[in-house]
Amino acid sequence: MEKKIALLGMGTVGSGVLNILKENKDLLLNSTDELLTITHILVSDLNKTRTVDLSGIQVTDNIEDIKNAEIDLVVEVMGGLQDTKTHLLYFLEQGIPVVSANKDMLAEYIDELEHTALNNKTTILYEGAVAGGIPIIHSLTHSLNANRISKVMGILNGTTNFMLTQMADKGLEYEDVLKIAQDMGYAEADPSADVLGLDAARKTLLLARLAFKKRFKMSDLDVIGIDKVDKIDIVHGKKANMTLKLLGVVEDKSSSYHLSVAPIFVDNTHQLSNVKNEKNAVFVEGNAIGQAMFYGPGAGSYETASAVVSDMINTFNLSSKKTILPEEFGEVDQSKEQSDYYFRFSDSIESVKEVLKDYEYKLIDETDKVFIVKSISSKVYEDIQEELQVKASYQVIGAGQDGVAGTN
Amino acid sequence: MEKKIALLGMGTVGSGVLNILKENKDLLLNSTDELLTITHILVSDLNKTRTVDLSGIQVTDNIEDIKNAEIDLVVEVMGGLQDTKTHLLYFLEQGIPVVSANKDMLAEYIDELEHTALNNKTTILYEGAVAGGIPIIHSLTHSLNANRISKVMGILNGTTNFMLTQMADKGLEYEDVLKIAQDMGYAEADPSADVLGLDAARKTLLLARLAFKKRFKMSDLDVIGIDKVDKIDIVHGKKANMTLKLLGVVEDKSSSYHLSVAPIFVDNTHQLSNVKNEKNAVFVEGNAIGQAMFYGPGAGSYETASAVVSDMINTFNLSSKKTILPEEFGEVDQSKEQSDYYFRFSDSIESVKEVLKDYEYKLIDETDKVFIVKSISSKVYEDIQEELQVKASYQVIGAGQDGVAGTN
C-alpha cells in the first residue's frame, strides 16, 4: 500500500531521508509492504537549487498546502520551536502520525506532543533527535525495558567531541580547533549551542525522561560547555591516562535525580574514552543488563536519516499496546556523589599540599600544580575551590568504575 | 491482566528471569499493564535445591503437565536440540508464543520455528540467544531496518574473549588461561563448543540471517577456534598495536556472502579491540548509518535475562504488522577480500623476504620472523602458505578500515 508522506524541511537530514527512500526502495517495500512515498515537501526557499530529484513531489513553502492534503505521515526535519510544535500538534490532532528529529523543539514540548498523539490514537517517534543514527531511543523504550535504569551517560554532541579529540590528538588550542570545526562544517558560525553544551543538554533531558519515566525541565540540568577548556589540561589528563569528554549524565539517586552536562575526564580503559571525533556513544546502566554501550554516528545526512526512516517504517509496521507517558516531574538534586576530581591550581605547591593533606591525592604535574584528588564529596570539592585558587577542575570517571569489563 | 507463563529450564538464565520478574515487578506491570506470572517451571531434577523462591509455581519434570495447562507464553531456557524444538513447535502450533535463548537449537531450526509461528499467528523471539543482554536482534530487526546491511562483525563468545584478554594482559599461555576460565565457571569442563568457535558460529549464523534476510546452514561457515593460539603471536601483535579477537564476521559481497568465525588481529584504534574479558560487542555496517557498535554483557544470569524478559514484554506489548522470513538460501563464497595478514614463519628470514619481495610488508620481529603483509588476496595468502613454512597466520583488520572515527 502506498503511504503518503509530507516531509517538512529539506536540509541535511531531509535530503538523507529522500536518498535512503530512493536507494533502499526495494528493501523498504519488502520489509514493510508499504510504499513510503514523499508526496509533499515544505521548504523555506522555493527558488533554491536542489541536488535531489523532486519530480512528482509537491514542493511548497506554505504549510497550509500540506494541512489540506491527504497525508498518512508527517516527517519533521526543519527545526524551529513553537511554530513547528503548533504545526505538529495540528497533524497529531487529526490522527496523523509524526516523526521528528528536532531535539530543540522536543526537549521543550515532548510531553505535550506525546499526550496529543496518545489522545488522538496516533504516535510521535523521534529516534533521530538523540545521538543521530544510534538507536538509543528505541532501545531504551523496547529493548532495555526489563531494566530499572540507574544511569545514562553519553557523548551526545559530535561537534564538541570532534573538537576535544582534535585538541587531544593534535595538541591544538580551543580557538584553532573551533575554526577547523567551522571550516569543516561541523560547527556553526555561531557555535554557542554546541560549545556551551546546550545541544547535549537537550538530548540529555530526552534520555533522562525515557530512562526514568519522569518529566524534566531544561532548568533541571547543570550545564557546563567546553568553551573554557584549556589544552594544558587535556595534555595533563593524557599523562594520567584520561581523555576529556563532554558527557551528558543522568543518574537515579533513589530519592532524586541528577542531570548534567559537563566536560569530564574519562579513564582510558572506559569504553567512552575511545569514542573519537564526530562519533557519539551512549552508555547505559540497568539492574538487569549491568552496563551496555551504543556507539555510532552522532550526525550526518544518511546517518541521522537512518534513524528517521526507521521511525517512518515503525510508525506503520510496529505497534505498542501500551504507551506510558511520564506524568510527574522528577525531583532533581544537583549535588554530586563522591568522586575523583582533577584540579589545576595557581597557589604554591606547598599550600596546595597543606590543604589536600587530609585527602588521598595523586600529583600529576609539579610545575603546573595538577592533582587528582580521590573520592571526595561535593562539599569537599567546594571547600577546595574556596581555600585554593583553582585554574581548572574536572570530575574524573575512573577505571574499574564503569565501562570497564567486569572481571579484573 | 495476568499472563500465565511456563518457564522451561531453571539454570543460570532461568533463575535470572525469575529474579528480574520479582525485583522489577512494579516497573514491568507499569510499562505493560500485564502481570507476567510464571505459573509452571520445567526442570530436569525435581529434587535439586533451589535458591529462588518457587512458592505458587507448579514445578514439574514432565512437559505434558505444561502442554495440558493453560499458558499464554512459553519461555525456553533449558537447552537441548531436537526434543526441545519439537516441544516448541507444539506450543507454536497451539498459537502460544515462545521466547527462547537457545542458540544451538535456533541456529539449526529457526526457519522451521518462525514459519510455524507465522502460520499460527504467533511469535518466537530470541534476543537472549545472541550476545547476551545486547539488544542486537531487536536492533537489526527494528532499528537498523532502513539500512542495507553490508557487514556484521562481533565478539560473540565471552569465554574465548575472556581467555584472549587474559593471554594479552597477563601474558599467560592458552592452557593456563583455559584452566582459569574453567575455575571461574566461564568455561565448561569440555570447552570445545567455546574454544573451537562453534558457539560463536551459531550466533554468527543467526546474525547473518537477520542482516541479509537469507537462510544459511552451519556448513556455510568457515570456523577457526582459539585452541591453536600461541601466546607469542599475541605478544607480537601487541607490539604492532593490535589485539587478537575471536570474531564472527558476515559480509555481503554483492553476488555472494562470506560467513566466518576466526581469531583476527584488530587494530587498537578499532572499537572492537577494547572489548575486554567476558564482554561482547557487535559491529554493524549499513548503507545509511555507516558504522555502529553495540557493546555489553555476553552472558550472565541477570544480563541474559534482561534480553529474555524484554522479549517477554514485547511478545505482549509490541506487534509487527509485517514479518518477513527469509526463504532462499544465501550463496556463500568463502574466499576472502583483499586484506592485511599477520604471519610467523619458520624459514630463514632471507627466504621469507625473497618470497615476500613483491608485496608490501612490515617486519614485526626479526628473531621470530613475524611479518605483516599488506593488502593481499586470498590467492596470494595461499601461495605464501605453500611456499613458506607458516607457524601462525591471522587476518588483520586495520586502522582506518572500520570502527575508526571518520575524520582524520
B143, A138: Cβ pair inside 8 Å? Answer: yes
Report pLDDT digits (tens) over B246-267: 999 999 998 899 999 999 999 9
B110 and B215, same domain (yes or no):
no
Residue A98 located in a structural domain: yes
Q: How far is B356 from chain A (nearest CA, A)?
A: 34
The answer to whether A11 is a known ligand-binding residue is yes
A217 and A284, same domain (yes or no):
yes
B155 and B120, same domain (yes or no):
no
B306, A144: Cβ pair inside 8 Å? Answer: yes
Q: What does the H/E/C string look like for chain A?
A: CEEEEEEECCCHHHHHHHHHHHHCHHHHHHHHCCEEEEEEEECCCCCCCCCCCCCCCEEECCHHHHHCCCCCEEEECCCCCHHHHHHHHHHHHCCCCEEECCHHHHHHHHHHHHHHHHHCCCCEECHHHCCCCCCHHHHHHHHCCCCCEEEEEEECCHHHHHHHHHHHHHCCCHHHHHHHHHHCCCCCCCCHHHHCCHHHHHHHHHHHHHHHCCECCHHHCEECCCCCCCHHHHHHHHHCCEEEEEEEEEEECCCCEEEEEEEEEEECCCHHHHCCCCEEEEEEEECCCEEEEEEEECCCHHHHHHHHHHHHHHHHHEEECCCCCCCCECCECCCCCCEEEEEEECCCHHHHHHHHCCCCEEEEECCCCEEEEEEECHHHHHHHHHHCCEEEEEEEECCCCCCCCCCC
- Which residue of B27, B145, B245 is the best one to mutate when testing the A interface, meaning the one whose CB has the most A CBs within 10 A? B145
At B407 the pLDDT is 30
A345 and A396, same domain (yes or no):
yes
In the predicted model, what is the mean pLDDT of residues B112-129? 98
Q: How far is B86 from chain A (nearest CA, A)?
A: 28
Domain holding B233, by residue range, is 147-297
Residue B57 located in a structural domain: yes
Choosing from A58, A91, A125, the residue where a domain stops is: A125
Residue A302 located in a structural domain: no
Q: In terms of DSSP bridges, do strands B124-125 and B98-100 run parallel, antiparallel, or are they unpaired? A: parallel
A318, B319: Cβ pair inside 8 Å? Answer: yes
Choosing from B297, B322, B356, the residue where a domain stops is: B297
A200 and A86, same domain (yes or no):
no
Interface of A with B in 267-326 (CB under 8 A): 271, 274-279, 286-297, 300, 302-303, 305-310, 312-314, 316-322, 324
**Which domain CATH number covers A241?**
3.30.360.10
B261 and B381, same domain (yes or no):
no
Q: How far is B278 from chain A (nearest CA, A)?
A: 7
How many domains does the structure of chain A reveal? 2
Report pLDDT digits (tens) over B295-312: 999 999 999 999 999 999
B207 and B278, same domain (yes or no):
yes
Residue A252 located in a structural domain: yes
B163 and B217, same domain (yes or no):
yes
Judging contacts by C-beta atoms under 8 Å, the chain A residues touching residue B144 are: 135, 306, 310
A203 a catalytic residue: yes
Partner A contacted by B211 (CB < 8 A):
no
Asked whether residue B25 carries a pLDDT value surpassing 60, the answer given is yes
Q: Which residue has the cell 543521530?
A: A132
Partner B contacted by A404 (CB < 8 A):
yes
**Which domain CATH number covers B70?**
3.40.50.720
pLDDT band for B34, please (50, 70, 90 cuts). Answer: confident
Report pLDDT digits (tens) over B57-112: 999 999 999 999 999 999 999 999 999 999 999 999 999 999 999 999 999 999 99
At B399 the pLDDT is 62
Choosing from B297, B326, B350, the residue where a domain stops is: B297
At A326 the pLDDT is 94
A24, B305: Cβ pair inside 8 Å? Answer: no
At B404 the pLDDT is 40
Residue A100 located in a structural domain: yes
Asked whether residue B371 carries a pLDDT value surpassing 50, the answer given is yes
Residue B314 located in a structural domain: no
C-alpha angle A227/A231/A232, rounded to 5°?
130
- Which residue of B34, B143, B291, B311 is the best one to mutate when testing the A interface, meaning the one whose CB has the most A CBs within 10 A? B143
B320, A317: Cβ pair inside 8 Å? Answer: yes
**Start-to-end CA span in chain B (Å):** 55
A65 and A193, same domain (yes or no):
no
At B402 the pLDDT is 44
C-alpha angle B396/B401/B404, rounded to 5°?
110
**Which domain CATH number covers B360?**
3.30.70.100
Partner A contacted by B23 (CB < 8 A):
yes
B116 and B196, same domain (yes or no):
no
Q: How far is A387 from chain B (nearest CA, A)?
A: 40
Residues of B designated as active site: 203
Q: In chain A, which residue's Cα lies nearest the Cα of B137? A: A143
Partner A contacted by B17 (CB < 8 A):
no
A109 and A190, same domain (yes or no):
no
B107 and B162, same domain (yes or no):
no
Cβ distance B10 to B3 under 8 Å?
A: no
Asked whether residue B129 carries a pLDDT value surpassing 80, the answer given is yes
B318, A320: Cβ pair inside 8 Å? Answer: yes
B287, A24: Cβ pair inside 8 Å? Answer: yes
Residue A318 located in a structural domain: no
At A233 the pLDDT is 98
Partner B contacted by A406 (CB < 8 A):
yes
At B405 the pLDDT is 38
* Closest in A127, A277, A293 to B406, CB measured: A277
At B401 the pLDDT is 47
* Closest in A277, A292, A305 to B288, CB measured: A305
Residue B309 located in a structural domain: no
Per-residue pLDDT of chain A (408 residues; tens, 9 = 90+): 899 999 999 999 999 999 999 999 999 998 888 899 999 999 999 999 888 889 999 999 999 999 999 999 999 999 999 999 999 999 999 999 999 999 999 999 999 999 999 999 999 999 999 999 999 999 999 999 999 999 999 999 999 999 999 999 999 999 999 999 999 989 999 999 999 999 999 999 999 999 999 999 999 999 999 999 999 999 999 999 999 999 999 999 988 999 999 999 999 989 999 999 999 999 999 999 999 999 999 999 999 999 999 999 999 999 999 888 999 999 998 777 789 999 999 999 999 999 999 999 999 999 999 999 999 998 999 999 999 999 999 999 976 544 443 332
